Structure 1
Amino acid sequence: MFVTAYKRLRLPLLVGIALAAFSGISQAEHSWGGYHWARTGNPFTLKLGDNLTSLDWKNHLAASSSDWNSPPSGATTPLFTAIVGGLSTKRTCSMVKGTTQVCNGKYGFNGWLGLASINITGGSHITQGAAKMNDSYFNLSTYNNTNERRHVMCQEIAHTFGLDHQSEDGSSQNSCMDYFSNTGANATNSDSTRPNAHDFEELNIIYAHGDSTTTVAASSATAPSASDVDITDDPNSWGTLMRQSANGRSSVYERFNRDGSRTLTHVYWTFEAASRCPSCDHRFESHDRN
């Protein structure tokens, strides 16, 4: 009788332990649609093409690359980054197969601070990426500080790894993959400027499986991709709005290309753009500063 009672108690206890363990394993849930670079083993190295035009931005790229290469004690990463010479121009930031190209420029008062694009083949494989920082806004006092620049740089390059946001409500998870804003009273606050343990946990989940092929450049690529997979200065080139955060600061767009691939773009909007109409597609709004 004691054995029977023990078995009855033991079963839900074991189930609870198993569920708790599973919950811990899957706690980080901010993959961007399951998109990932194909590779034949871990860890692998993703090359970041430096097309940046100022020492300040170059320093932020170097710091963010170092942060993503430095998981916290006890954690591991399947993905390392290496900064290489850029192969694009700051204006177009054309994607280059097997790499992420990183650019800055005065892209205009069009409502966005930063954006990241990835080209997808085979349903989920990233083949190339681009990350752009908009100096038209970063040169303004509202956004022109070290912590906001580093936050956005860290986040935009990580979108090209296949990561999404941990939070989009403006709260700080102390991860650059949240939408805390290091502006105004928070301009001197360095929270949310680096990845945290959950970001590395998610990377390990995304890259836990194996692939039989690779889309990662083994050496520095030599030429930009075909222009029809890139986005342009025309926001209509982003394609269809797929989703937008409740506060209007984050949008994802998708475009189908003639070669059968898809280009997806994460857009980080300014406070000003989001506050006018959080539910609107900000591409079709006026962002005139006069």
Structure 2
Amino acid sequence: MRMKLLVALTAAAAATMTLSTSAQASHSWGGYHWARTANPFTVKLGDNLTSNWKSYLGTASSDWSKSTVLDTTVVAGQSSAKRCAATSGRVEVCNSTYGNNGWLGIASISVTGGTHITSATVKLNDTYFNTATYNTPSWRTMVTCQEVGHTFGLDHQDEVFDNPNLGTCMDYTNTPDGPPSNLHPNQHDYDELATIYSHLDSTSTVDQTAAVPQVTNDRSSWGTRVSHAAHGDTYVRDFGNGKSVVTFVIWAR
């Protein structure tokens, strides 16, 4: 059974996603980006991981730091793995047995001012990664790379599981090893990051301190379903004061 991948976004408006059988010409996620006053900038990745996950975060950090516009650094986490609460100005990365809920990984971003990311979390679900199907270096590498990539404002390049691999972790697949391998970013990912971060902002949301809303794994907390497709739904929960939680779900077939 193909598992669903869930990405939750905190934003002022719902993000949209188009299903395609080929690479998207642009895979910016709704224009979401970290505000910053100079490039390259550095995003902290908080390590809330057990020992068997740490090397995969290290690989993802190294891969994404090859971008010309951003660097990442792995730092000590500031959250419990089970809760994986967001911390302002950085990304918290966690793993735990989150349950038989159908998803392998969640990437969540909090957004202010419509497009500026203020915090992010990545959750890796050991309920499935402890099974024979997903307890492999390839699946762990790809999912970690993809979920961390979302926290910079990247969408998927492709969302069809059983077509040929594009050679990027931002591509859905049933065979991460390929060929070609979907374990790392490709040049199109780096080019898209350069496009997303081609402008500078007057302020910075990187490594800043502020209160941020928290996203849970409970479907009942997602709010109202605002769009539906064969294998994807979008939910919105309005918190008031210009803030809402937008949850996009890719369902299992």
Shorter-chain TM-score bucket reads: 0.7 to 0.9
2:166–2:180: 8 Å Cα contact kept in structure 1? no
Q: 2:111 pairs with 106, 110, 120, which one?
A: 120
The match for 1:65 is: 61
Structure of greater relative contact order (alpha carbons < 8 Å, 6+ residues apart)? 2
TM-score (ref. length: structure 2): 0.82
- Residue 31 of structure 1: aligned partner: 28
Partner of 1:257: 239
Q: Secondary structure in 1 aligned to 2:49?
A: coil
Aligned residues of 1:118 and 1:264 also touching (Cα < 8 A): no
Matched AA of 1:256: D
- Aligned pairs for 1:66-85 within 5 A: 66-71=62-67, 77-85=68-76
* Alignment RMSD (CA, Å): 2.3
Deviation string for 1:51-103 (max 9, x for gaps)? 112x22111000011011125xxxxx211111111011111111110001100
Give the gaps of 5 or more residues in structure 1: 1-26, 72-76, 276-290
Change beyond 3 A, Cα 1:266–1:42: farther
The equivalences for 1:121-160 within 5 A come to: 121-160=112-151
Which structure features the higher share of helix residues?
Answer: 1
Deviations 1:143-173 (A, max 9, x none): 1111111111001011110000000012311
Confirm or deny that 1:45 pairs with 2:45: no
Q: Per the alignment, in what secondary structure is the counterpart of residue 199 of structure 1?
A: helix
The aligned residue for residue 13 of structure 1 is: none
Equivalent residue number for residue 19 of structure 1: none
Which residues in structure 2 correspond to 1:1-290 (within 5 Å)? Answer: 28-53=25-50, 55-71=51-67, 77-170=68-161, 171=163, 172-182=165-175, 191-217=181-207, 225-226=211-212, 229-241=213-225, 246=230, 248=231, 252-267=234-249, 274-275=252-253
Task: Give the TM-score normalised by the residue count of structure 1.
Answer: 0.72
How far did 1:225 drift? Answer: 4.2
**Tell me, what secondary structure is at the counterpart of 1:257?**
strand
AA partner of residue 230 (structure 1):
Q
Deviation of 1:265 (Å): 4.0
Deviations 1:161-219 (A, max 9, x none): 00000000123111000001237xx5x8671110000001100111111110010006x
User: Any stretches of 5+ residues in structure 2 without a counterpart?
Assistant: 1-23
Distance in structure 1 (CA, Å) of the matches to 2:189 and 2:107: 17
1:230 shift after superposition? 1.1
DSSP 3-state at the match of 2:245:
strand
Contact 1:115–1:267 (Cα < 8 Å) also in 2? no
Tell me the distance in 2 between the aligned counterparts of 1:245 and 1:141.
31
**Is the deviation greater in 259-268 or in 33-42?**
259-268
Change (3 A) 1:173 1:108: same
Rounded to whole Å, the distance in 1 between the matches of 2:175 and 2:226 is 27
Seen in structure 2, the aligned counterparts of structure 1 residues 240 and 61 have a Cα distance that, compared at 3 Å, is farther
Higher deviation after alignment, 209-218 or 161-170: 209-218
Counterpart AA for 1:255: R
Letter in 2 for 1:174: G
Residue 132 of structure 1 aligns with an amino acid whose one-letter code is K
| Compared CA separation, residues 145 and 108, structure 1 to 2 (3 A) | same
Instruction: Give the Cα–Cα distance (whole angstroms) in 2 for the partners of residues 45 and 146 of structure 1.
Output: 27
Whichever of the two has the greater Rg, that structure is 1
Q: Secondary structure at 2:93's aligned position in 1?
A: strand
